[in-house]
Amino acid sequence: MKAEPAWTTTTLQVRYAETDQMGVVYYANYMVWFEIGRTDFCRKHGFAYREMENQDGLYIMVAEARCRYKSPARYDDEILVRTCLKETRRRVLIFGYEIYRQATDELLAEGETVHVITDREGHPRSLPEKYRELFVAGPQDTAHVST
């Protein structure tokens, strides 16, 4: 039986620049929020993504992304970005996301990104064991808030 993934939560305030004239968030911003959640997920698991780049010369390249929009986020909404690592393979990471309006706990969007671990030249590499262990250990700081 597969264990339930550990979710991390990042809080964001919808900025005016992220919306259209009707105050509705432009669809591509959800992908930006996924990235914010993913970066925060790594921090909460004990490392900064930049460390992986600088110390190990490894990158987490997006190979696939999807988002299902359920309800629009609007200007000045406080939203929660929930992020989990759904699957870890030797060279592939699959992250899952859920975005909620905090005031109503309404699910606004859900999605997934598939990433390939590569070197600086874009050649596939294996995820080092130290990162796999940090992911398995679970979040270390669940109170962190990003803006």
- Contact of 94 with 85, CB cutoff 8 Å: yes
b/e string for 89-104 if b means 16 or more Cβ within 10 A? eeebbbbbbbbbbeee
Radius of gyration, alpha carbons of the chain: 16
Indicate the burial class of 126 (C-beta count within 10 angstroms; 0-12, 13-18, 19 or more): exposed
Residue 105 identity (one-letter amino acid): D
Catalytic residue numbers read 20
